[in-house]
Amino acid sequence: MPRPRPRPRPPGARPRTRVAAYVIRHRAVPEILVFDHVDMPDAGTQIPAGGVRPGEELAEAVLREVSEETGLLTATVVRQIAVEDKPHPETGQPRRTTFFLLQVPPDTSDAWEHHVDGDGDDAGLAFTCWFLPLPLGQPLADRQDAWLGHVDPRFTTVADNSP
């Protein structure tokens, strides 16, 4: 089932407000939660992210997105990391994403598959979730890893060739 495309916005419209989560688990080395779309492997490996509902606080939205996309209910917000203005990679529509650092207990499962319930844009999708050690060896889809160095300089993606 293809993921719905964002609705087109008229020229000059305000960017879509989004949140993204760096969910970190601390073990022998710090690890970040990532996922792949079971039915859309071309989407690439990603972190939990999505739109903010009207009237919803950003920290509330990031916890909801983590829960909806991964099923995790034990994540807690540590702090806001960055705000990024960047167009959608496929549509070019404007979007503003606030990145947050979250943490989960060290005994959180290593990997699992999560099926999204409800009636939101992701309803019916399945995600394979797991933790990757930091720093990452390769960038995530849409360069979602770009702000990891702001959490800790040692978390900067190894293959990061950006200025």
Task: Give the residue extent of every domain in the chain.
Answer: 22-100+111-131
Contact, 20 vs 77, CB < 8 A? no
Strand intervals (E) in 86-125: 95-104, 111-115
Distance separating the N- and C-terminal Cα atoms of the chain: 37
Lowest-pLDDT choice from 57-61, 64-68, 91-95, 138-142: 91-95
**Given pLDDT bands bounded at 50, 70 and 90, which one contains residue 137?**
very high
**Given pLDDT bands bounded at 50, 70 and 90, which one contains residue 2?**
very low
Contact, 61 vs 20, CB < 8 A? no
Q: Is the pTM of this model over 0.85?
A: yes
Mean pLDDT of 87-99: 91
Q: What is the pLDDT of residue 162?
A: 52
Does the pLDDT value for residue 118 go beyond 80? Answer: no
Nearest to 20 by CA among 86, 65, 69, 71: 65
Does the pLDDT value for residue 6 go beyond 70? Answer: no
Which residues have C-beta within 8 Å of that of residue 43, sequence separation ≥ 6?
3, 36, 37, 141
Does the pLDDT value for residue 7 go beyond 70? Answer: no
Q: What is the pLDDT of residue 163?
A: 45
**Given pLDDT bands bounded at 50, 70 and 90, which one contains residue 61?**
very high
Mean pLDDT of 122-129: 90
Q: What is the pLDDT of residue 161?
A: 53
Q: Residue for token digits 């705000």?
A: 83
CA distance 93 to 74: 33
**Fold classification of 22-100+111-131 (topology level):** Nucleoside Triphosphate Pyrophosphohydrolase (3.90.79)
Contact, 32 vs 39, CB < 8 A? no
3-state SS, residue 159: coil
